[in-house]
Amino acid sequence: MTAEIISGKQLASDIRGELKQEVESLKEKGITPGLAVILVGEDPASQSYVRAKEKACAEIGIYSDDNKLPSDISEEKLLSLIEEKNNDPSIHGILVQLPLPKHIDEAKVLLAVNPDKDVDGFHPVNVGKLVVGQKAFLPCTPHGIVQMIKRAGVQLEGANVVIVGRSNIVGKPLANILMQKSELGNATVTVCHTRTKDISKHTIEADIVVAATGFPNSVTADMVKEGAVVIDVGVNRVPDDTKKKGYRLIGDVDFDAVSQKASFITPVPGGVGPMTITMLLYNTVDSSKTANNIK
Give mean pLDDT, residues 156-173: 97
Residue 286's closest CA among 90, 15, 54, 19? 19
> Which is it for the CA torsion 5, 224, 153, 212, positive or negative?
negative
Q: What pLDDT does residue 191 have?
A: 98
When comparing pLDDT for 242 and 206, which is higher? 206
Q: What is the pTM of this model?
A: 0.94
When comparing pLDDT for 221 and 246, which is higher? 221
Q: What pLDDT does residue 145 have?
A: 98
Each residue of 177-230: pLDDT tens digit? 999 999 999 999 999 999 999 999 999 999 999 999 999 999 999 999 999 999
Q: What pLDDT does residue 46 have?
A: 87
Q: Which residues are designated catalytic?
A: 53, 97, 120
Q: What pLDDT does residue 101 have?
A: 94
Each residue of 32-79: pLDDT tens digit? 999 999 999 988 888 888 899 999 999 999 999 999 999 999 999 999
Domains and CATH numbers, the chain: 31-115 (3.40.50.10860), 140-273 (3.40.50.720)
Q: What pLDDT does residue 70 have?
A: 96
The pLDDT mean for the chain works out to 96
Q: What pLDDT does residue 21 have?
A: 98
DSSP letters along the chain, please? --PEE--HHHHHHHHHHHHHHHHHHHHHTT---EEEEEEES--HHHHHHHHHHHHHHHHHT-EEEEEEE-TT--HHHHHHHHHHHHT-TT--EEEEPSPPPTTS-HHHHHHHS-GGG-TT--SHHHHHHHHHT---PPPHHHHHHHHHHHHTT---TT-EEEEE---TTTHHHHHHHHHSSSTT---EEEEE-TT-S-HHHHHTT-SEEEE--SSTT-B-GGGS-TT-EEEE---EEEE-TTSTTSEEEE-SB-HHHHTTT-SEE--SSSSHHHHHHHHHHHHHHHHHHHHTT--
Using the predicted structure, report yes or no on whether residue 1 has a pLDDT greater than 80. no
Q: What pLDDT does residue 16 have?
A: 97
235 is in an annotated binding site: yes
166 is in an annotated binding site: yes
d(CA 236, CA 3): 22
Q: What pLDDT does residue 45 have?
A: 83
Give mean pLDDT, residues 164-186: 96
Cis omega (within 30 of 0) for bond into 269: yes
Q: What pLDDT does residue 73 have?
A: 97
